[in-house]
Structure 1
Amino acid sequence: MANIKSAKKRILVNETKAARNKAIKSKVKTYVKKVETAVEKKDAATAAAALKEAIAEINKAGSKGVYHKNTCSRKISRLTKAVNGIA
């Protein structure tokens, strides 16, 4: 355990940020899963709607610094490719 006051504060701040990042990543994974299940069921309409929501969540996570912009682009690209593969 840290003895210096600033080090103690850094530990608390890092825990807070880690919890926030974990929550955002979990939310993104949920939206991605919705798209993937729609793709598995070959339901184009649901997949397209879920894709739109997933893209928004992925971009939000990227803008907040949870994901790198290239990671966001890669996730979006793979999901879009999967949805377009249905039709």
Structure 2
Amino acid sequence: MANTPSAKKAARKIERRTAINKARRSRVRTQLRKVEEAIASGDKAAATDALKAAQPELMRAVTKGVYHRNTASRKISRLSSRIKVLGA
């Protein structure tokens, strides 16, 4: 347990940031799930729209430090390549 005032304040800050990051991560996962569902249904237009909505959310998570830049880029790249296969 935190004893000093600064440690108590740090614990409060960590708790707040954890809640914010958890919500942000959840929002990103929801967007990614929508893309996955659109790909699974075989609807290229819906999948493209869902990816366009998911991209800014992923990149926002990167700037906020929730995801690493390469992780987000990898996810976007893999999803877009799967969407490209739908049209073929």
TM over 0.5: yes
Query: Which residue of 2 is the match for residue 6 of structure 1?
Result: 6
Written as runs of structure 1 = structure 2, the 5 A alignment for 1:31-70 is 31-70=31-70
- Counterpart secondary structure, 1:10: helix
Larger relative contact order (Cα-Cα within 8 Å, sequence gap ≥ 6): 1
Separation in 2, partners of 1:31, 1:72:
13
Separation in 1, partners of 2:39, 2:80:
10
Query: Which residue of 2 is the match for residue 30 of structure 1?
Result: 30
Query: Which residue of 2 is the match for residue 76 of structure 1?
Result: 76
* Runs of 4+ off more than 3 Å: none
1:63 is displaced (CA, Å) by 1.1
Give the TM-score normalised by the residue count of structure 2: 0.95
1:50 is displaced (CA, Å) by 0.3
Q: How many residues align?
A: 87
Instruction: Calculate percent identity across the aligned residue pairs.
Output: 48
- Counterpart secondary structure, 2:2: coil
Could you give the per-residue CA deviations for residues 32-61 of structure 1, whole angstroms, max 9, x where no partner exists? 000000000000110000000011110111
